[in-house]
């Protein structure tokens, strides 16, 4: 591979940040700070991954469980996950609390975050 004048001309034409922004896909796990649209993308991705991992658990108490929403604390240390169960809500929350470490481990394998948030499972109460 040659790094001749043509390559140097391309690097001078595009500053480093702009050059990276043109060809690089947007990564939702690298953003400036929480409360931004990038943070919302992170939460959506974490919610989707958690829903997939919960579905993979073979616990009958989690039958027809839906992850309705997720909210990340301002410091990024706590992810509140709101779930709705078809059967008994309390049993489903107990099963999720029991599987919290397994779900956090699965999150750690699938996303790259500096600090993985602690998971908190809450019942979904839609506002009337």
pLDDT tens digits, residue range 20-68? 444 434 444 444 444 456 678 888 999 999 999 999 998 899 988 999 9
In a domain, 50, yes or no: yes
Output the pTM of the full model.
Answer: 0.67
In a domain, 49, yes or no: yes
Task: Look at residue 5 in the predicted model and tell me its pLDDT.
Answer: 52
Quickly state the pLDDT bin for 16 (edges 50, 70, 90): very low
In a domain, 96, yes or no: yes
By C-alpha distance, which of 99, 111, 87, 88 is closest to 58?
Answer: 99
In a domain, 20, yes or no: no
Contact 83, 103 (CB under 8 A): no
Q: Please give the residue range of the domain that contains residue 43.
A: 33-123
Q: How many domains, in total, are found in the chain?
A: 1
Q: What is the pLDDT of residues 77-96, one digit of tens each?
A: 999 999 999 888 999 999 99
The residue that leads in pLDDT, 119 or 10, is 119
Q: What tokens appear for 92 in the block?
A: 């489903």
The residue that leads in pLDDT, 7 or 63, is 63
């Amino acid at each position: 591979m040659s790094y001749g004048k043509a390559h140097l001309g391309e690097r001078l034409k595009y500053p480093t940040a702009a050059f990276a922004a043109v060809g690089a896909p947007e990564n939702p796990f690298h953003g400036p700070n929480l409360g931004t649209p990038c943070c919302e993308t992170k939460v959506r991705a974490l919610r989707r991954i958690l829903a997939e991992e919960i579905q993979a658990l073979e616990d009958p108490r989690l039958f027809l469980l839906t992850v309705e929403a997720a909210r990340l604390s301002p410091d990024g240390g706590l992810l509140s996950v709101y779930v709705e169960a078809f059967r008994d809500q309390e049993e489903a929350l107990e099963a999720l609390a029991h599987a919290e470490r397994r779900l956090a481990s699965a999150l750690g394998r699938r996303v790259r975050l500096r600090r993985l948030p602690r998971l908190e499972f809450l019942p979904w109460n839609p506002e009337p």
